[in-house]
Structure 1
Amino acid sequence: MSVLLVVHLLFTAAYAGFQWTVQVVVYRQFGLVPAAAFTAFEAAHQRRVTYVVGPLFAGQAITSAGLLIAGDGALRFVSIGLFAAVLGVTGLLAVPLHRRLSTGFDAATHRCLLRVDLVRAGLATVNAIVAAALLR
């Protein structure tokens, strides 16, 4: 069993757990924040979440690069592709939705963010499963 594969699994599983926590707990509470406090709340959320997601993304990027260089088999490309998809959904969809919310809470934008985040959680979960399968 390769150390790279174990570390890759740890990062992908940790990110999936993080993403489900955001989906089920964090984002569900956005609508409870008083309107007058929401812009400050959203700014703090964006700043603080970076401390968690940044290292998780960095770890997955490093281990994905390791899979690309050292791995064999097609399944490694599936994992790399899933991570790329998470980054794409984050950058192209979630970040712009957060930018919209940074001007104030909007229920339609919030609902869209929940749907986009569900996609990220699903992709992350499948990636953790694939990363576990790479250990076989």
Structure 2
Amino acid sequence: MTALAVAHLVLVAAYAGFQWTVRVVVYPQMARVGDGFAEYERAHQQRISRVVGPLFAGQGVTTCWLLVLALRGSAPAVPVLAGAVCLAVVLGATWLGAVPQHRVLDRGWDAGAHRRLLRVDSVRVAAATAGLAAGVWLVLG
């Protein structure tokens, strides 16, 4: 289980770093793109998917595996469950909040959609950070 816990920690740490970078650097810069925003947004979505897709998939695999081990009593249940809840919040906020705002932004700059995207992304940052804490707890606890 130690190698699995470390692999999980690496994935949640990578995702948390990614999410903080998006929230602090990428999304605030969107407001400065100007002409050609729709093309910029579509390129952003294509490129960012190549990074976030594997991170989501990897976290999904390690989280499911850890949940099975926790159910069997082979992994500590509380940090595993906490991490699973954090991942569920991230995925829910992504699919129910961020994706719809990106679809609006696909059509061109929309300040309201951008504000909503930033709010949703703050939820993802908080959940990713909490997921990282749960991963550290799992490895060190």
TM-score of the pair, normalised by structure 1: 0.96
SS in structure 2 at match of 1:34? coil
Of 110, 129, 135, the residue aligned with 1:131 is 135
Q: State the match for 1:27 in structure 2.
A: 27
Q: State the match for 2:15 in structure 1.
A: 15
Whole-angstrom CA distance in 1 between matches of 2:105 and 2:55: 24
Whole-angstrom CA distance in 2 between matches of 1:74 and 1:110: 36
Deviates more, 1:123-132 or 1:70-79: 70-79
- Aligned residue identity for 1:34: G
Whole-angstrom CA distance in 2 between matches of 1:34 and 1:85: 32
- Aligned residue identity for 2:24: V
Deviation digits for residues 35-64 of structure 1, max 9, x if unmatched?
A: 3x1010000000000010011001100100
Q: State the match for 1:4 in structure 2.
A: 4
Matches within 5 A, 1:1-136: 2-35=2-35, 37-71=36-70, 72=75, 73-135=77-139, 136=141
- Aligned-residue RMSD, C-alpha: 1.0
Whole-angstrom CA distance in 1 between matches of 2:57 and 2:84: 13
TM-score of the pair, normalised by structure 2: 0.92
Greater RCO, CA 8 A, separation 6+: 1
Unmatched 5+ residue regions in structure 2?
Answer: none
Number of matched pairs: 135
- Aligned residue identity for 1:9: L
